[in-house]
Structure 1
């Protein structure tokens, strides 16, 4: 493995560790929220605070799901690095510019191809 790839791998693994910690913290927060609402006698449907509790649960679950997808994207980026395809556009097979990868390490497409798929 080249020193460039080693540096990229180290950065991806650092980002993965941060993302995994974030997912774990969100999972914990969500469990605590469910436990707090379970031990309460609040009826989401009839309690004035019920809609707020339900919204908070849904919002936290959505944030956790997005964080989990980011973690999966980082895992996939590490696999692409190991396979030698990291930094290669999945659509046109051209190199993804280093600036794009620095800004978005999990990028699958170059800017031109990403813009076309929008």
Structure 2
């Protein structure tokens, strides 16, 4: 994957993540308004899932979107400094196939696997 195509994919993913974050924040704002309008006892709402459960779900999705944006911004910075295709742990090149699938990757497959499994 060339640096330019990786940068383009990162820009596309950043746009998508920002759009998703904005949508989630609008949903949280709407839910915040609903929570203020409803009684405080949403745990026993016969209409379905309590507002607190929906709040937790949306907050989790929002946090994931924020984390994704940070990873993308980090990758953009690494590409700009010329370190974008090198593993930040071992310094070896990150395979092009991995960067094609995960343009925000900052670790090679081996280091990412070790990090994920402790």
**TM-score (normalised: structure 2):** 0.88
Deviation at 1:6, TM superposition (A): 1.9
In 2, the alpha carbon distance for the partners of 1:75 and 1:115 equals 22
Describe the superposition over 1:49-94 as per-residue Cα deviations: whole angstroms up to 9, x where unpaired. 2972111101110111001110111111111100111021111100
Distance 1:101 1:77 in 2: 10
Which one scores higher on RCO, CA 8 angstroms, separation ≥ 6? 2
Match of 2:19 among 14, 18, 21: 21
**Superposed, which structure 2 residues align to 1:27-46 within 5 Å?**
27-44=25-42
1:5 positional shift: 1.7
The CA distance in 1 between the partners of 2:102 and 2:40, in whole Å, is 43
Counterpart selection for 2:61 from 63, 68, 72? 63
Q: Tell me, what secondary structure is at the counterpart of 1:88? A: coil
* Deviation for aligned residue 1:112: 1.1
Superposed counterparts of 1:1-118, under 5 Å: 4-44=2-42, 47-49=43-45, 52-117=50-115, 118=117
Q: CA deviation at 1:42?
A: 4.0
**1:11-59 deviations in Å (ceiling 9; x for gaps):** 1111101110000000000110111111112424xx5129721111011
Contact 2:6-2:100 at 8 Å conserved across structures: no
Between the two proteins, the alignment pairs up a number of residues equal to 114
Structure 1: 5+ residue stretches without partners:
none
